[in-house]
């Protein structure tokens, strides 16, 4: 599709990208024949989408970046762009915040699908190991505790979940997150603090226990 090969313009500031994306969203709204505009929108957003894909892959799904999958951020980006092309035919985000929330959702779905398929593959075993009869282990890097953490994040209130995803998972700054969400940096900081408290409460049993 070629989106990942689009050259990066160092003069393009985050706020300029946000303004351009919003303009395309405004033009797409109510247009039943907006396929060309959708492609242009994704081309404008590709650098930020690539960054989000890379951060999410390497921070939360690092096992998928190693053999046997060897997933690259560019591969994930292409898959997410294909998903968004289909999704945007039925869903019309009204603002930049909704657009990136939709993109983040499809990134997680794509990575979860890959992790699940990897889990379902029989593990490669040498002949010398064939008689051991050891139960197969998950090879996706998503342990039971990891799945609990992801479920706890998904269970956060909407505002806290969105801020936590953008800052702690996607690696955006507080300023970038505030810009995308249309809130103040103070609000971002407050929601991050609250999300951490809620996660600590939900996952309290996973904390290392102090020993005498």
Q: Which of 131, 187, 147 is nearest to 163 (CA)?
A: 187
pLDDT on residue 195: 95
pTM over 0.75: no
Question: In this predicted structure, what is the pLDDT of residue 12?
Answer: 55
For residues 138 and 120, what is the distance between their CA atoms, to the nearest angstrom? 8
Q: Cα separation of 3 and 81, whole Å?
A: 8
Give dist(CA 68, CA 46) in Å, integer: 27
- 15 CB-near residues (< 8 Å, 6+ apart): 179
Contacts 24+ apart (CB under 8 A), 119-123: none
- Residues 119, 93: Cα–Cα separation, whole Å: 33
Residue 6 has pLDDT above 50, yes or no: no
Average confidence score pLDDT of the chain:
81
pLDDT given for residue 123 in this prediction:
59
Q: What is the pLDDT of residues 26-35, one digit of tens each?
A: 998 877 678 8
Is 99:88 a contact under the CB 8 Å cutoff? no
User: 24: closest CA among 46, 42, 4?
Assistant: 42
pLDDT at 171 over 90: no
Which tens digit of pLDDT belongs to each residue from 82-136? Answer: 999 999 988 889 999 899 989 998 998 999 899 888 888 765 554 444 444 444 4
For residue 47, give both structure tokens: 């650098």
- Burial (CB count <10 Å: 0-12, 13-18, 19+), residue 24: buried
| Domain boundaries of the chain, sorted by first residue | 10-120+141-206
């Amino acid at each position: 599709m070629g989106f990942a090969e689009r050259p990066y313009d160092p003069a393009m500031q985050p706020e300029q990208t946000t303004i351009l994306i919003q303009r395309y969203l405004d033009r797409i709204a109510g247009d039943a024949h907006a396929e060309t505009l959708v492609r242009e929108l994704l081309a404008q957003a590709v650098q930020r989408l690539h960054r989000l894909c890379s951060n999410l892959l390497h921070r939360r799904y690092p096992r998928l970046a190693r053999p046997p999958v060897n997933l690259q951020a560019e591969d994930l980006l292409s898959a997410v762009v294909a998903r968004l092309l289909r999704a945007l035919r039925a869903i019309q985000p009204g603002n930049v915040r909704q657009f990136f929330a939709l993109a983040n959702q499809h990134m997680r779905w794509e990575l979860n699908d890959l992790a699940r398929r990897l889990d379902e593959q029989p593990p490669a075993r040498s002949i010398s190991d064939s008689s051991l009869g050891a139960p197969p282990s998950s090879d996706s890097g998503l342990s039971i505790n990891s799945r609990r953490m992801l479920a706890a994040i998904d269970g956060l209130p909407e505002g806290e979940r969105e801020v936590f995803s953008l800052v702690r998972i996607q690696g955006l700054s507080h300023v970038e997150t505030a810009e995308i969400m249309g809130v103040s940096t103070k609000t971002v900081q407050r929601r991050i603090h609250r999300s951490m408290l809620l996660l600590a409460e939900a996952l309290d049993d996973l904390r290392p226990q102090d020993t005498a």
